[in-house]
Amino acid sequence: MKKSIALAILASFAGAASAQSSVTVYGLLDAGITSEIGGAAGSIVKLATGVQSGNRLGFKGTEDLGIGLKANFQIENGFNADTGTARQGGALFGRQAYVGLSGNFGAVNLGRQYDPLFVALDTIDPFGTGLTGASTNLMSAGNVRTNNAIKYTSKNLSGFTADVLYGAGESANGASVGRTIGFSGTYANGPVLVAVAYDKVNANVAVAQPELKLVLVGATYNFGVAMAHAAYETEKGNGNDFRDYLLGVSVPVGAAGSLMASYINKDDRTNKQTGGKQLAIGYTYALSKRTNAYTSYGHIKNDAAGTNFVGDASSGGSAPAAGKNSGALTVGIRHKF
């Protein structure tokens, strides 16, 4: 009898523990038809993959540890929908792979994670760094993701949040080789969002990684009938010195549509003349809560030696001859699950 009671008590504890844990399986599939103009291969029409957002399959979960602590993890695989092949260099979980703890202090996670500057740029860009109007066609997002990263995210303090990231270079040539240091501060309250971010990547000649230093300041303001977007970025390193400017707008159209447009100027402060200007417009329409259709057009006018090209969230494009223009028109569908 006593044994039966003990087993019942243990079973109740196990049930309570499992009830406090959760694992979510999620993903996204995105494919479209894109017509590219001005690339090295000339004008082509292709089945593009991950145009608005990169394709992914992921798992994430939390476990309540008590005393105000939770264990958290996330692993996320990236792939091409048109061929089924892996992205991010073939890494099994190349998009994200981390584990950590969260509580009243915020969250600390260890593993492959997004750089704070990329997250800030993605938030400010009216195209969300996707479609053929992606800000990353001309503006730098650093490494986007950092390996060997320790990342701290603060709690929301009256609208303010902060991220600090340290990515160990882990090089035999020295601890600072290939090291990444980044941070961001974001204030979001009502219609206003303001973000400031910094990212520094040290050179690592073993993997052809140049030094890069980025500073980003951006903001959005929601007027109700439209949202204004603006950003300014300095980009230095590897003999480059750019000043990037973004102005954009996003407008809700009815209950399910959204129209967005942006202008970006990549100003080359050296005599290399490798900058350019991008003008883009796009439209998305929600077919359901999880599925939307999209179309967008982007055009880049390059400086005399510029080889910038119109890409998207992941399928990209091809660089034109120096000084030639680049353009792309796309239409497609995205489904989240």
| pLDDT digit string, tens, across residues 172-186 | 888 899 999 999 999
Q: E strand or H helix at 2, and its extent? A: helix 2-19
Check whether 4 has a pLDDT greater than 50.
no
pTM score, whole prediction: 0.92
CA 301-144-329 angle, 5° bins: 35
Distances (CA, A) of 132 to 23, 36, 51, 124, 271: 34, 10, 8, 16, 28
Chain segment 201-246, per-residue pLDDT in tens: 999 887 788 899 999 999 999 999 999 999 999 999 999 999 999 9
Going 174 to 177 to 178 to 184, the CA torsion angle's sign is: positive
Q: Give the whole-angstrom CA distance, residue 46 versus residue 36.
A: 8
What average pLDDT does range 141-159 have in this prediction? 97
The helix, strand and coil proportions of the chain, stated in percent and rounded to the nearest 5, come to 10, 55, 30
3-state secondary structure (DSSP) of residue 131:
helix
Residues paired with residue 234 on neighbouring β-strands, in sequence order: 215, 243
Q: Give the whole-angstrom CA distance, residue 301 versus residue 327.
A: 9
